[in-house]
Structure formats: structure tokens, C-alpha cells
Structure 1
Amino acid sequence: MELRDYVRILRKRWLAIVAAVLLGVAVAAAATLVSTPRYEANTLVYVQVQSSGSIGDLAQGSSFVQSQVASFAEVVSTPRVLDAAIKTLNLSESADALAADVIASAPLETVNIRITVTRDSPGEAAQIANAVTASFRQVVGEITESSGANPTSQVSVSVLRDASEPTAPISPDTRLNLILGMLVGLALGLTFAILREVLDTRIRGERDVAAITSAPIVGGIGFDPRAVQKPLIVQEDPHSVRAEAFRTLRTNLQFLDVESGARSFVITSSIPSEGKTTTAANLAIALADSGAQVVLIDGDLRRPKIASYMGLEGAVGLTDVLISRVELADALQAWGRGNLVVLPAGAIPPNPSELLGSKAMSSIIRTLESEFDVVIIDLPPLLPVTDAALVSKLTSGALVVVAAGRTHKGEFAGAIAALENVGASVAGVIMTMMPTKGPDAYGYGGYGYGYGYSSQTPESSTVVPDGPEQPRKRLSPEWGNAEMPGADVKPV
């Protein structure tokens, strides 16, 4: 992963990271509040060797004490010293228990010993430190006594500083605990964000699509919770941002490299519920609004929805034409201003794959390509059935719809492979349910998403309600720009 990948993760998962930091601080604060304060009291003693007073004896004694002072420091925590202190203060704990709270240290190249006692009570800490120091002085005197008629101690311990009652606890350190809690929370938040991104197998944005296929992303439709109630957004709310996204898709289709010159596209997806049918219907309406002659075919002979969305009679349609029950011209139904013609699915057959892969289907597509500027065919998802792959070979290419946050990378890769295995062309990818904010929002890398159009009337976006069929005029090859004069096209 590159630096920009980590920046993208931070922008995408910043809320989780902030939550982890706050949680770490909260845990640290709670731990600080419930912790028992600990107080520290210490004394400082000076150890020296009794000498005759000559310079040589003093130097020799000082060297001896420096070499032995570490051993004297260890004496402080022994039961011989601590038992006497416990007896003096009438404590109820053992020497081993008290030793856990008593520390003696000897700084290098000195003859000083610092005795430190840590307790829950500041007064008790000072009393124990002074008592241990007094006991230590007595024990050192006993263990260093010379033999003879008048035994005297060769080492003396002088108190340089008595222990005083501490005014502030040494623990818990509130500031340090909060800083540690913040750092731990930040580390956990970053780890969670990175692991979540690395282990996420869903398509989230353009980067994920580009890693699987080289096909261009020709459009991105933002997520709209009202899409179920308003499937034909281009007609029902033509000034919305989502409707403008379909017009942007319409414009991008003009730049696709279609060698045959025909403009027939299959609209399909990897799995169900990715928005392929609403995408096909809205794209067809947007194309028709620009002045192009468009035919929309409901090729989903398993779960047809086009007729229901468009408010048309769907009893007769594609299946009837494929089995030569009705003529193609009789099955076509005009919609809107007459630039858009719809061919419903008709009755659901028992063998949809065989019908869609037949010569009759190829003949229908060729006929419609010759009479219309654009042919849009809505077909089932690629992974459950092969219908879309079969028909895609008969058209200019497939436009694969992929839902951000819903489709897994493996599913999308499988759909692309299904098309490539049969030699079909992947004309482009249409992303749906895209987040409208954040680093994964469509248009972040330079694509327009139509911001600002919601308060304006887009050019050529007015939708006329359903009415009588109007004469259709053929356009120049650069469809959707300007109407070319010419004879009316005879009805199909």
C-alpha cells in the first residue's frame, strides 16, 4: 500500500479511528478514577567507615564503603530490618509483604543509600520509611561490630534526610494515563481501519473496479433510499442530482469505441438487486430526451420489470416475437414523446436461454439497430444464468452494473470472466449505489457528478408525459447533439 492509500483509509474510516481514540481515553480515565492513590516517602542515609582520621585511612574507608554499599542496600529489605520496623509500628503484615513496598537504592560512586516506601496512606509511608531507616542503622551496626573486649561498629550510618509526609500521590498519573489511553486507542483504531480495508471484499469505488477490469467506468449513480419508490428518476425528478448522473452516463456513452457503428448495448450485472433494470430504463429515457431514437428491450425473461416500471402492457412482447407469434412492429410500444419505444418481455418462457441465443434474437437486434440510434437491452445477472453473455455477443457490448458496497470483488470478476469467456465485449462499467460523499464517491477522480444541477433546468431534460406516438427522425452518428433534417423513419 502506498501513502495515498493510507490517507484514503484515514479519510474513509476517520470516524472509527476517532471513536477508538475516545474509547481509549475513556478507559484510561475510568482506570485512573478507580485506582487507589499511592504515596511515596523516602529517606537518605550516609554510610561511612570509622577510621583513625588520617587521610590514608579515610580514602581506604571510602573505597571500602563504595564497594560494599550495594550490599548494605540489600540489607534494607531483609526480615531482620523489616521485622523490627513492623514491631515498632505495630503493623499487621509480614516482612515479605512489607518488602514489596520498600526499595533501597545506592547511586553509583556514592556512599549514600535512598530508602523509599510506597503506601496507600501518605502518613503511613513516612512512618514506615523512618522506622525502616532506624532499624537499618541498628542492624548495620550489629553486623559490622568488631570482635574483642569492647566491640564497636566499623561502619556508621548517618541520616541525611528524614522522610516527610508526601502531599501528592505518585500514582495514578492522570496525564500520563490519558496520553497512553489516547495512543493505544489511536493504534487500535488505525489497525482496525487498515484491516477492515484490506479484508473488505466488496466493491467500494472506482479503484476496486479498475483493479479487476480495464473496461472504462462510464457512469456512477449515487445511492438514493427513495429509488424503490421512484425508479424512473429521470422522468419523475429530472432536476435531481441522480437524474443528472444518468444524463452524464448518456454523454459518456458517445465516446465508447464501437467499431461496427451500431449502438446496441446489453445492461446486466453480476448478481440481482444491483439496479440494472432501473439503470436501463433511466438511461433509455435520458437518451430519448436528447433526441435520439431509442428502443428499450426487456430481455429479462425470468423476472421482467420494464413494463411495470414504464406503465405499459406487458402481455405481448419479446417472447412472442421470438416464436413468431406476433410481428416485431406490433409488439413495440411508444413511450413519452415518441423518441423512446419499448419492447416488453412478454410471457415468461420455459427456455429463456435458448430463445435469447437463437437466430431470431440476432435478427431482431439487427433490425432494430438499422431503425434506431440506440438499442438498450435489459438482461438477467451474469452469475446465476448465461442469458446476458449469450446476447452480449450479438450487440456492441455489455454495460455491467456493479453496486458499490453490495457486490463482492469475486462476483464482479466472475461476471467479467463470463463475458470474456464467450468473446463478448465489455463496453463499460456503471457503478450504482455510490456514496455521495467521501473518498469513494463517484467523480472524486475527475468525473463530473452533476453538482449544482438540482437548482437548474438541464438542457434537453424536459420530459413530456406519455401521449400519442410522434414521428421519429434519424439523427447524425453523434446522437444526442442536434437533430438532422431528413425524412421521417417509417414505423418498424
Structure 2
Amino acid sequence: MELREYMRILLQSWWLVVTMTLAGVLAAGAFSMLVTPRYEATSQLYVSVRHDEADTASDLVQGATFAQQSVNSYIDLATSAIVLDNVIDELDLDTTSTSLRDSLSVASPENTVLISITASDENPGEASALANTTGEVFSRVVENEIEVADANGVSPIQVRMIQPAPVPEAPVSPNIPINIAVGLLLGLAVGVGIALLRSVLDTRIRSIRDIEQLTDAPILGRIPVDPEVATRPLIVHSDAMSPRAESFRSLRTNLQFIGAAGSQRVVVVTSAMPSEGKTNTVTNLAIALADNGASVVLVDADLRNPTVADVMGIEGGVGLTDVLIGRADLSEVLQHWGRRKLEILPSGAIPPNPSELLGSAAMEALLGRLGSRVDYVLIDSPPLLPVTDAAVMSKFATGTVLVVTPESTKRPQFSAALDTLHTIDSRLLGVVATKMPAKGADRALYPHYRYERARTGASPDHLDRDTAESAVDFGPTVHATEIETPASTMGAQDSRWRIGS
């Protein structure tokens, strides 16, 4: 993945990263508050070889070398039982030499004759007493027991305490600032790791880039999400000046260029799975094409869950199925919609054998007949993966438009839909991404056109016919015209609009 992909993942999961970071800080703070403080005290000893006035310079050098070599052995001696048993007796400690050894550490700087004895304890005074007593006992053991005295009762090795251990004022642990910093870093790392892991395990299509990685087909449109789509599905008609309506006009323009080579333009609009917005896409696309002056027939071929009639506000009891079984003629069931050159062929009664009807010779002949008389035939079909209806119809069409919803459609589903179209040798005209966010890298909004009503605050009923017909057209193909809709969609009123700057 590229850097921007990582950034996108982190931005999408920022709440998780922040939550885990705060959790790490809080855990570190709680740990620091609950841990019993420990104090450390250090005493320092100096090891040397005794000498007298008669010793030469060479003798002094040899003595210093011997002392330096002996220090390495004395480090282990300081925490041996022979020393610690005496320390326990002197301090009257209720412990063993093995347990006491864990509270002591002995070290010597390299190439020196210094020995540092560090004691740790929950009580600062006891830590100081333990370091000093261990140093004193160690000195006596070295001089009296390890390095045997000569005939005069004097040991050749002398161990002196040059720095007694003071009583520590502050604990060495817990170190709250360091603990919090470690907790912050660990929480941040865990949050980032979980965010990346979720992204790897999540098979949903997240962005336009994910679509482009799965197919070479062009992205025909990016339709922004609309929370009010249930109450105003025909946005191109009900709010023609909105950015979402503009996205459908952009889809219309792209489709016109893609399909320019064919004499007939019969397009199946489908999706991999249900509820991806294909019906909303095909109905608004049909209106956008008709607004541009094209003659369009919208066919509801979803014989399992037909919704075009309800969305368009027409009667759907008689339609496609009646034509296919010969019970009605095409001219009897086609319904004109508004003042556009838009006709709708509803589904009719739901049959028991949708796939057989849609894949029949009658369906092929019907699509050929429709394609020869209008500019565009748009077919709303069932999703590709649950049933075969869309696949069998694609054989009779100029091409297929595949609708996908980022954050909902999964990569395996999208890939399976592409494989299905490839298997039947159907031409994929392009992909339409629906329910796109209004912000972010994949936002679906276009440049900030300013749209206004002909009269601010006025309802469409207050606009006269001359005003509506003289409206200025700022779009490349949108014509200002009087618009009528069925009463079930917009009521009994006429709606006359114009585009203003």
C-alpha cells in the first residue's frame, strides 16, 4: 500500500487510535499509582594493596594492578552467603541470603578499583542501612577471611568505604513520566496495529481506488449519499439544482460518450448484491437523459422485487410480463412520464419463472424492438449474484452498468459479479459508485455551482410560464422547460424551475 492508503486507514480509524492511546496512558498511570515505590541507596568502596615506605615505584604499580584484578572477583563476593548472612545478623532481618541478594546489585567501573553496592527497598532508611552494612561486612570479610593476614596480622588488601550511602529522598520506581510515555507509545502502536489489521481483514470496498484495483472499467459516476433518498428518490426531478442531481447528469454525460459507438443503446443496470442503489440510479439516469432531449424507455425487469413503478409514481400492475407472455401489446403497457420523451415499462405481475421469461426469445425481440425506436433503453434488473436474471438479459443488451456501494459491497462480491459478466461475454460499460461521502478523498461533490430558484422563497406555483420558458441554461445539455410529474410524486401542482447564477 502507498502512504496515502495508510493515511486513509488511520483517518477512518482515528477514534480507535485515539481510544487505544488514551487507554495506554490511563493504564500506565494506574499502574504507577498502584505500584509500591522503591528507593535505592548506593555506597562506594575503594580497594587497594597495603604498602610501606620501602616500596619502590615498581612495587606500587604491581600492587595497583593486583588490586584492579582482584576487584572482578570481589564483585561476586559482595553478594555471597558469607557476606549476606552477616548482614542479616547485624540488621536483624527476617529473610534469607538468597532473598536478600535480589535487593542488592554490585558493580565496578571498568579499569578501576572502585566497587559500588546498591540496595533497594520500599523504605528509604532501610535501603541506606542495607547498602552501608553490606559494604562494611564485605570489607571485613575480604580483609579478615579472604585475604589472609601476614605474620603481623595485617591483610595485604585494604577495602575502605569512600562514599557511604545517603538516605534517598525520591523513589526510583515507579517513574511516572516514563511510564506514561511508554503507555502512550504502546497504546498508539496497538491502535495503529489494530486499525491496519482491521483494514486487512475487512473485505469491503472502501474507496474508488479499491474499485480501480479490481477492474479496468471506467468510473462513470460518483453519486453522493442522501439521507433523504427514501422521501425524495427522484432527485434529478425534485431538486434539479442539488449537487446530487448534478452527479446524475455527470453520469449521463459519461454514459453518452461510452455508448457512442453502438447503433442501439440498451443498458442493463445491476449490482452485485441487493440494496446498492441500482433502482435509484437507473430512474434518475433515465430522467437526466430525457432532460437532455433523448428518447428513453425505462424497463423494470426486476421481476422478483419490482420498485420502479412505485418510485416513478405510476401503476405497475400490467407491464413487461404481460408483453412477454402475449397477453398485452407493448403500446398498451408503455406509460409516458411527464413532458419528457420518457416512457416506462413496469414489471407487471410477478411470474413464477423470472429467469426463463427474461432469457427468452420474446425478451430479446422486445429489447430489439425498443432499441430501434428510442435513443436509450435502461433496464433495472435484479442483482447479479443472488439470481441469474441480470446475466441472461446482459446477452441481449449493448452493455452493463454495475452499481457498487463503498463501505457496503465486498471485494469478493464485486469480483464475482465481474467474473459473471466476463463469463457470459457481456460488455461492462462502467461502474457507478453510490452513497459516496460528501467529504474526504473520495467525496462525490462537484465544483461549487450556485443554483437558485427563479424567485427566492417562492414556490413553483408562483412562477409564470414565460419565466420558466425563458430560463437561462448554464449546463452543457440541460434544457430549461416546463416540468410535470404524476400527482402521486409531486401532487397536483406543476413545478416550473430555472437555473440561475
Q: TM-score range by the shorter chain?
A: 0.7 to 0.9
Deviation at 1:306, TM superposition (A): 0.7
Do the aligned residues in 2 keep the contact of 1:258 with 1:396 (CA within 8 Å)? no
In structure 1, distance between residues paired with 2:150 and 2:84: 29
* SS of the residue 2:214 aligns to: coil
Do the aligned residues in 1 keep the contact of 2:338 with 2:486 (CA within 8 Å)? yes
Matches within 5 A, 1:72-471: 72-144=74-146, 146=148, 150-439=152-441, 441-443=442-444, 449-453=445-449, 456=452, 459=475, 460=478, 464-466=483-485
Deviation at 1:141, TM superposition (A): 1.8
* SS of the residue 1:274 aligns to: coil
Tell me what 1:18 maps to. 18
Per the normalisation by structure 1, the TM-score is 0.88
Identify if the C-alpha distance between structure 1 residues 225 and 232 changes in structure 2 by more than 3 Å, giving closer, same or farther: same
Identify if the C-alpha distance between structure 1 residues 418 and 364 changes in structure 2 by more than 3 Å, giving closer, same or farther: same
Deviation at 1:340, TM superposition (A): 1.9
In structure 2, distance between residues paired with 1:145 and 1:434: 85
Identify if the C-alpha distance between structure 1 residues 141 and 367 changes in structure 2 by more than 3 Å, giving closer, same or farther: same
One-letter amino acid of the structure 2 residue matched with residue 452 of structure 1: H
- Worse-superposed segment, 317-326 or 427-436: 427-436
Higher relative contact order (CA 8 A, sep 6+): 1
Deviation at 1:69, TM superposition (A): 0.6
Identify if the C-alpha distance between structure 1 residues 462 and 414 changes in structure 2 by more than 3 Å, giving closer, same or farther: farther
- Worse-superposed segment, 185-194 or 209-218: 185-194
Identify if the C-alpha distance between structure 1 residues 277 and 410 changes in structure 2 by more than 3 Å, giving closer, same or farther: same
* SS of the residue 2:370 aligns to: helix
Do the aligned residues in 1 keep the contact of 2:259 with 2:265 (CA within 8 Å)? no
* SS of the residue 2:257 aligns to: coil
| Structure 2 unaligned spans of 5+ | 454-473, 488-501
In structure 2, distance between residues paired with 1:423 and 1:46: 91
In structure 2, distance between residues paired with 1:217 and 1:295: 24
* SS of the residue 1:201 aligns to: coil
Cα distance per residue 1:395-436 (max 9 Å; x no partner): 221101112122111111111121121121111111112233
Do the aligned residues in 2 keep the contact of 1:240 with 1:453 (CA within 8 Å)? no
In structure 1, distance between residues paired with 2:217 and 2:154: 99
Identify if the C-alpha distance between structure 1 residues 463 and 184 changes in structure 2 by more than 3 Å, giving closer, same or farther: farther
One-letter amino acid of the structure 2 residue matched with residue 5 of structure 1: E
Deviation at 1:112, TM superposition (A): 0.8
Identify if the C-alpha distance between structure 1 residues 199 and 146 changes in structure 2 by more than 3 Å, giving closer, same or farther: closer
Identify if the C-alpha distance between structure 1 residues 409 and 4 changes in structure 2 by more than 3 Å, giving closer, same or farther: same
State whether structure 2 residue 59 is matched by structure 1 residue 57: yes
Do the aligned residues in 1 keep the contact of 2:313 with 2:486 (CA within 8 Å)? no
One-letter amino acid of the structure 2 residue matched with residue 343 of structure 1: L
Cα distance per residue 1:35-64 (max 9 Å; x no partner): 222211101111111223413332222111
Tell me what 1:29 maps to. 29
| Structure 1 unaligned spans of 5+ | 444-448, 469-492
Cα distance per residue 1:450-492 (max 9 Å; x no partner): 3534754675488834259xxxxxxxxxxxxxxxxxxxxxxxx
- Worse-superposed segment, 154-163 or 253-262: 253-262
Deviation at 1:381, TM superposition (A): 0.9
In structure 1, distance between residues paired with 2:109 and 2:361: 98
One-letter amino acid of the structure 2 residue matched with residue 466 of structure 1: T
Do the aligned residues in 2 keep the contact of 1:241 with 1:454 (CA within 8 Å)? no
Do the aligned residues in 2 keep the contact of 1:206 with 1:442 (CA within 8 Å)? no
* SS of the residue 1:221 aligns to: strand
Per the normalisation by structure 2, the TM-score is 0.86
* SS of the residue 1:282 aligns to: helix
In structure 1, distance between residues paired with 2:45 and 2:149: 25
* SS of the residue 2:404 aligns to: strand
- Worse-superposed segment, 97-106 or 192-201: 192-201
* SS of the residue 2:141 aligns to: helix
Do the aligned residues in 2 keep the contact of 1:144 with 1:155 (CA within 8 Å)? no
Do the aligned residues in 2 keep the contact of 1:37 with 1:169 (CA within 8 Å)? yes
Deviation at 1:305, TM superposition (A): 0.8
In structure 2, distance between residues paired with 1:351 and 1:296: 22
Do the aligned residues in 2 keep the contact of 1:337 with 1:467 (CA within 8 Å)? no
* SS of the residue 2:250 aligns to: helix
Deviation at 1:150, TM superposition (A): 4.4
Tell me what 2:499 maps to. none
Do the aligned residues in 1 keep the contact of 2:41 with 2:128 (CA within 8 Å)? yes
Do the aligned residues in 1 keep the contact of 2:47 with 2:158 (CA within 8 Å)? yes
Deviation at 1:239, TM superposition (A): 3.3
* CA RMSD between the two structures: 2.2
In structure 2, distance between residues paired with 1:328 and 1:371: 12
Cα distance per residue 1:104-125 (max 9 Å; x no partner): 1111111110111111122221
One-letter amino acid of the structure 2 residue matched with residue 37 of structure 1: P
* SS of the residue 1:266 aligns to: strand
Do the aligned residues in 1 keep the contact of 2:105 with 2:117 (CA within 8 Å)? yes
Do the aligned residues in 1 keep the contact of 2:233 with 2:311 (CA within 8 Å)? yes
One-letter amino acid of the structure 1 residue matched with residue 318 of structure 2: V
In structure 2, distance between residues paired with 1:389 and 1:112: 88
